[in-house]
A and B are shown apart, each in its own frame.
Chain A
């Protein structure tokens, strides 16, 4: 008989919740906690808010200092570099950095040599921030732990903005996903989902910055992207907030993932959670 076990932890700056389905509760809990341990490891390794993270070590380095990085970070940065290039700078792990003259800095202000696993700052003020990809990467790593443990049905939810589904619940086509602010519901199976918005209803100014200008995003937009990996879904949901909507289709076509699609694109959000949905129905955009 199948049972559902729920594990959660405050990590990645949010509440991470795992729901796992199987026939052995002890095994499910062990798998869930090991997956959460992996998420915690990623958080401790990547967070720019922790002094002991690898990101902080890099951010503390002097201009011109050639830093050796580990293979895992080398791979993740290779993906970030490719995303920066493919998406014309709309995704940038350096976004928000400013130089001594106050001008915005970009990925181009870092020298990344993946063949030698070396990273060098080219300007004062360059700061890495994996906020636009870290949650997705952590969920992908957690999925590997669960699959290795033989867990075939699970939903991983990081703070409500990133979800990753393994299989689906019994007698269901997918895991139920709800977006209360727009009164929307849908199902997710064997895919990842990431939602980015310019700002939370309680925020006056967006905390998402336009990489090219360093300015907070304007408007109240929301994008939900589905992809085969949570890393890709997170990169794309961040980038598509920055990219004008008439260029979204082109951006999506540049990605080599048949599962990629924009699930929801909303140009105007209600001002509070209790607000009624906007008069127009959200569109589901497919490739």
Chain B
């Protein structure tokens, strides 16, 4: 366990820009003596973003970074700062550094062991989603975390996002009326593959590929479902106040037949059983006065090779439609069905005579929807989620933004979708 060599790319960057004056000042950054000591395990792109973000929070010190892959470890250390320890194996670092909290951003199949080790060492745990690879692992994690009263937060940071928090309030207060359908998309123009620094005929190629592109291997990840769908499955369950009842998935390796083992094109349908929101006092439609539970369906898809739709959600209600993304939300009003008094029936029927043309406009997807109410948030959800975690650790509060029960519920839904993808049938969540 030692720090990477001093002749780092950070120093190289400062020197390469041609301005020597301030470089030495930046490199001479003082040691840190902040209160909350964090060990970051996993220094891939997500791990580094978590480390970088944590270093912007007052009174937090990254005391160590761990990753078995050298270049990732080096990069993680760059973000953590020159006073952080670094090592390939997190276990001796847990013992030596005795961190207050551990950040886990490693391949999915390694989460369970690391989370249990960290909880056993007495540290609070922030674990990237998905919680773990299997339900058996999830149960072991839950036992460990609950028995030791570990402060635990799963990295489903969309719950911290200001757009989605506003959307949740709109849905809860009945602004959208009854939710009738949800569409989620996670579409990207990408092969979703990292470059391997050796040739394909090198004996090390496959091992390196399994480390650097672990999400493409079926025994290490559930692909698009665990890495992307889990975010939106949790988000929609949180927005609607309940997890789905059952789910069905279909997909395949359709676009990138490059040796990957997980689908690059997946579509799911999930059923949610919902309680209707309170009917409006005035102008409630027949459907809105029906207070019995009902079923709303969510579709979710992720494709690689077309990024038109991006990552977004659309929530359709009897009174409005919410188009959501982490950086912007839009609420469009829907003209709801309204009851007509007896004396107005003649006029209402007369309106039906001209309804053909109106109906044609209404189903035209390009027809103007009116000016939406915009949700323009402030803040960064990853930073806000980490701030919430840090605050929970400082105040020794186990009620985190997204705790172990939420993490297990999310894992259950995601693994049900995975099972459906294999069995090609509905699976209960």
A contact set with B: CB distance below 8 Å: 9, 24, 26-27, 29-31, 33-34, 37, 41, 50-54, 56-57, 60, 67-72, 74-75, 78-79, 81-83, 85-86, 114-117, 140, 144, 148-151, 227-229, 231-232, 235, 255-257, 260
Contact = CB atoms under 8 A, between A and B. Distances in A.
B327 A26 contact: no
Contact of B258 (A26, A70, A71): A26
Contacts of B196: 27, 30, 149
B18 A257 contact: yes
B406 interface: no
A207 to B, nearest CB: 23
B19 A256 contact: yes
A217 to B, nearest CB: 23
Nearest to B328: A51
Contact of B22 (A56, A78, A227, A256): A78
Contacts of A57: 56, 379-380, 383
Interface of B: 9-10, 13-14, 16-23, 25-26, 28-30, 45, 49, 52-53, 55-58, 71, 78-81, 189-191, 193-197, 199-200, 258, 326-327, 376-381, 383
B16 A229 contact: yes
B95 to A, nearest CB: 27
B88 to A, nearest CB: 18
A71 B29 contact: yes
A115 B18 contact: no
A116 B30 contact: yes
B56 A70 contact: yes
Say what secondary structure dominates the interface of chain A.
helix
Given A51-B379, A79-B22, A256-B20, A24 B10 contact: no
A26 B13 contact: no
B193 A82 contact: no
A42 B162 CA distance: 22
A70 B18 contact: no
A51 B78 CA distance: 26
Given A30-B194, A30-B195, A255-B18, A71 B78 contact: yes
Contacts, number: 142
Given A27-B195, A51-B378, A114 B79 contact: no
A76 B346 CA distance: 72
A115 B191 contact: no
Contacts of B20: 82, 256
B18 A260 contact: yes
A24 B18 contact: no
Given A29-B191, A60-B378, A70 B52 contact: yes
A81 B17 CA distance: 12
A83 B19 CA distance: 7
A52 B379 contact: yes
A164 B232 CA distance: 38
A29 B195 CA distance: 8
A227 B16 CA distance: 10
Given A71-B29, A228-B16, A114 B57 contact: no
Nearest to A260: B18
B39 to A, nearest CB: 17
A74 B71 CA distance: 22
Contacts of B53: 70
The 4 closest A-B pairs by CB, nearest first: A82-B19, A149-B195, A78-B26, A257-B18
A74 B377 CA distance: 26
Given A52-B327, A255-B18, 16 more contacts: A30-B194, A51-B327, A57-B380, A68-B57, A68-B58, A70-B53, A70-B79, A74-B26, A75-B13, A78-B25, A86-B21, A114-B22, A114-B28, A115-B29, A148-B197, A228-B16
11 contacts: A24-B200, A27-B196, A30-B193, A52-B377, A68-B55, A70-B79, A71-B81, A78-B14, A85-B22, A86-B21, A149-B196
Contacts of A27: 195-196, 200
Contacts of A231: 17
Nearest to B196: A27
B55 A115 contact: no
A148 B79 contact: no
A165 to B, nearest CB: 16
Most central of A68, A71, A117, A144 by chain B CB within 10 Å: A71
A34 B376 CA distance: 29
B308 to A, nearest CB: 12
Contacts of B13: 75, 140
A105 B62 CA distance: 35
B415 to A, nearest CB: 28
A79 B25 contact: no
Given A54-B56, A74-B29, A75-B13, A227 B380 contact: no
Contact of A34 (B55, B79, B195, B381): B195
B55 A41 contact: no
B427 to A, nearest CB: 33
A68 B56 contact: yes
A48 to B, nearest CB: 13
Given A52-B327, A79-B22, A231-B17, A116 B29 contact: yes
Contact of A26 (B22, B79, B193, B377): B193
Contacts of B22: 78-79, 81-82, 85, 114
A9 B310 CA distance: 13
B79 A71 contact: yes
B29 A117 contact: yes
Contact of A229 (B17, B49, B80, B327): B17
A50 B191 CA distance: 26
